[in-house]
Amino acid sequence: MSDLSPVLTVSTPEQARLLLDPALLPVLGPLLRGDVSAAELARTCGLSVQQAHHRLTRLRGAGLVVVTQEQARAGRPVKRYRAAAQAFRVPFALTDHASLAELVAGLHRDLLARQHERVGRILAAQPGRDLSLHLNALGQVSLDFDGFEDVTESVVSSHRLVHLSPADAQELETRVQALFGWLEDRAQPRAEGLVPRLLGVFLTPGDA
């Protein structure tokens, strides 16, 4: 909708809590992209219609979601919803966190827990396979999934500290940003035939 403000800076702790709630984050994407009904939102996010309605009610009550139209039908009309702005800005002072580090850790915790749980299930379903733990040439701990080449649900996981020249560090950042751009061009809402993948990439200055 053209009359939506580009950015809405939230003004209450309740708005901040809702926008940072891991249970609500998945529904914000479809609402930011366009108008959706509760049924459409439920299908896209893998929720029941009742769960979608509950999330919409919470977001609408806080002024973060608006009703864009009501389509008449027998019984109650079908409402279509949209985020109240094209993007949201959350001042840190409105959050419940003591530090930015705590806030970022909270946002990532759910994703990391799901990734670890999924990897564990894949490995547990492959009896007789070995998990190799060794030190690489840099003296860092590495894990290898030996003999898992034929596993269809592949897992790629790497966490390492590297020391790079300024030019190579810039090249690495450029390649990571290009990967994000490639994903943005191809990512689609949840639908039959699409394969779900959990992806987490972090690149930051620092030492381990």
Domain with CATH 1.10.10.10 in the chain: 8-94
Between 107 and 26, name the one with better pLDDT.
26
Using H for helix, E for strand and C for coil, what is the string for 155-168? CCCCCCCCCCCHHH
Look at residue 122 in the predicted model and tell me its pLDDT. Answer: 66
Look at residue 127 in the predicted model and tell me its pLDDT. Answer: 64
In 3D space, the residue among 59, 62, 53 whose CA is nearest the CA of residue 32 turns out to be 59
Say yes or no to pLDDT of 152 above 60: no
- Out of 3.20.20.80, 2.30.110.10, 3.40.50.1000, 1.10.10.10, select the CATH number for domain 8-94: 1.10.10.10
The answer to whether 110 touches 22, Cβ cutoff 8 Å, is yes
Query: Over the stretch 31-84, which tens digit does the pLDDT of each residue have?
Result: 998 899 999 999 888 899 999 999 999 999 999 999 998 887 777 788 999 999
**Assessment of whether the complete model's pTM goes beyond 0.75:** no
Query: Over the stretch 4-21, which tens digit does the pLDDT of each residue have?
Result: 778 999 999 999 999 988
1 — pLDDT class (breaks 50, 70, 90):
very low
pLDDT > 90 fraction of the chain, expressed in percent and rounded: 38
